[in-house]
């Protein structure tokens, strides 16, 4: 039992070491005379309220020539009317309206993304969602500056707004741990996903063929699509504060779990190496608590079990304190101490639910 626990402990330590690489990330930029324009593409489905709230924020971007394209994917609310009013106020906003039953074999959000990309005017595209907003007016300029010869993809970070309540504490933990994984793996040359709320592409690598190859499930526009075009050398990350894009958090546990099940349901389409690497951290986290349970039922002192638990937490903090500063979320340090076990229960539940999930873009 002790050997089993040590194996699990050092397995988790290896992931913490990978995560710690994020603190080594350097931000390279192009010279000013090499900068070009960029197309910001926002896909929306029944997002009238969020569009009226956040488009005026996006339109204030400075330091780069840009166009803002909103793709209305068959909305049934007041989205079309809101977009018409926004176009009158901001003539540079371009709108694409897709009919609800417009013929397309692309699943989920893909048809809207492809429509926006095909209508874009610039060689680089930045993607976000209708319920998101940048904290800097130089977000687009900074995202564009990350591209250099050989770089085709830039992965950004998109935290959820911090709010009061237990739900938001769980959301902050899960979002931050997910970011530590996908950003650190991309940094060491194993990109496997990004978040569609904050990602940039060189447009030349995105075409209908790539969308068709990733068209295996309703979700997956932010990981299966990336998997078709990302390599160890063409993908970089940005942790610049100017590149943070905040997102409105889900309002209920049910909404959040449905969202996460949709994301988890795409993992089975990863290649075997990525399934092992990406699934290793949550699997080891589950085994860690199984080991603690074995200690308890074998009459070990509760103080011993508590010491092992605290040692894991302390090591996590030691290796990730600077990362959490960069991700603007040091507050999860205390939350993880008390909620880590429940996060693992959440993982188990949602991964089983995800096996049957077929939730699309809604």
CA neighbor of 112 nearest in space, from 76, 83, 73: 73
Residue 197 belongs to a domain with what CATH number?
Answer: 3.90.550.10
Predicted confidence (pLDDT) at residue 105 exceeds the cutoff of 70: yes
Max CA pair span of the chain = 72
Whether 172 is in a domain gets the answer no
Whether 337 is in a domain gets the answer no
The region that residue 263 occupies, defined by phi over 0 for left and psi between -120 and 50 for alpha, beta otherwise, is alpha
Predicted confidence (pLDDT) at residue 218 exceeds the cutoff of 90: no
pLDDT tens, 264-280?
777 777 888 888 888 89
Whether 7 is in a domain gets the answer no
HSE at residue 220, side-chain half, CA atoms within 13 A, is 24
HSE at residue 322, side-chain half, CA atoms within 13 A, is 10
- What local confidence, expressed as pLDDT, does residue 359 receive? 52
Whether 293 is in a domain gets the answer no
Is the Cα dihedral 132, 201, 206, 356 positive or negative?
Answer: negative
Strands (E), the chain: 38-44, 66-73, 93-98, 124-129, 132-134, 153-155, 199-202, 235-237, 245-247
Whether 234 is in a domain gets the answer yes
pLDDT tens, 46-89?
999 999 999 999 999 999 999 999 999 999 999 999 999 999 99
CB 125 within 8 A of CB 201: yes
Whether 223 is in a domain gets the answer yes
CA neighbor of 208 nearest in space, from 110, 103, 129, 108: 110
Model confidence band, residue 256 (pLDDT cutoffs 50, 70, 90): confident
Q: What is the pTM of this model?
A: 0.91
Q: Which residue range is the domain that position 227 belongs to?
A: 26-165+191-254
Whether 68 is in a domain gets the answer yes
Q: How many CB atoms lie within 10 A of CB 300?
A: 14
Predicted confidence (pLDDT) at residue 103 exceeds the cutoff of 70: no
- What local confidence, expressed as pLDDT, does residue 271 receive? 81
Strands 124-129 and 199-202, sheet pairing: antiparallel
pLDDT tens, 219-253?
677 788 898 999 999 999 999 999 999 999 998 88
pLDDT tens, 114-137?
999 999 999 999 999 999 999 999
Whether 357 is in a domain gets the answer no
Provide the 8-state DSSP code for 161: P
Q: Does an H or E element contain 285, and which?
A: helix 272-297
Domain count, the chain: 1
228 φ, ψ to 5°? -75, -20
pLDDT tens, 3-33?
888 899 899 999 999 999 998 876 655 555 4
């Amino acid at each position: 039992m002790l050997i089993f626990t040590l194996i699990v402990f050092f397995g988790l330590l290896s992931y913490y070491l990978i995560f710690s690489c994020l603190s080594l990330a350097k931000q390279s930029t192009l010279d000013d005379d090499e900068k070009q324009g960029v197309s910001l593409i926002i896909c929306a489905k029944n997002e009238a309220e969020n569009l009226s709230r956040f488009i005026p924020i996006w339109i204030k971007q400075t330091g780069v020539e840009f166009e803002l394209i909103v793709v209305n994917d068959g909305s049934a609310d007041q989205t079309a009317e809101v977009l018409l009013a926004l176009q009158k106020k901001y003539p540079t906003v371009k709108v694409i309206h897709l009919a609800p039953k417009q013929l397309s074999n692309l699943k989920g959000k893909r048809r809207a993304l492809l429509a926006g990309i095909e209508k874009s005017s610039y060689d680089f595209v930045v993607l976000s969602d209708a319920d998101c907003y940048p904290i800097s007016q130089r977000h687009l300029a900074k995202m564009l500056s990350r591209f250099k010869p050989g770089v085709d993809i830039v992965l950004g970070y998109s935290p959820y707004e911090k709010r009061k309540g237990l739900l938001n504490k769980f959301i902050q933990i899960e979002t931050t741990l997910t970011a530590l994984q996908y950003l650190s793996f991309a940094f060491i040359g194993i990109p496997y996903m990004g978040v569609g709320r904050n990602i940039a592409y060189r447009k030349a690598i995105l075409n209908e063929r790539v969308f068709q190859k990733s068209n295996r499930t309703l979700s997956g526009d932010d990981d299966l699509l990336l998997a078709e075009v990302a390599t160890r050398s063409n993908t970089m990350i940005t942790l610049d504060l100017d590149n943070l894009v905040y997102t409105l958090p889900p309002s209920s546990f049910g909404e959040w779990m449905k969202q996460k099940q949709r994301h988890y349901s795409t993992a089975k389409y990863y290649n075997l190496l990525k399934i092992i690497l990406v699934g290793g951290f949550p699997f080891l986290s589950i085994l860690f608590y199984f080991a603690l349970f074995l200690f308890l039922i074998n009459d070990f002192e509760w103080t011993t079990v508590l010491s092992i638990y605290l040692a894991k937490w302390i090591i996590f903090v030691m290796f990730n304190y600077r990362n959490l500063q960069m991700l603007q979320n040091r507050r999860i340090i205390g939350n993880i101490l008390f909620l880590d076990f429940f996060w693992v229960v959440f993982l188990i539940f949602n991964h089983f639910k995800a096996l049957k999930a077929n939730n699309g873009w809604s």
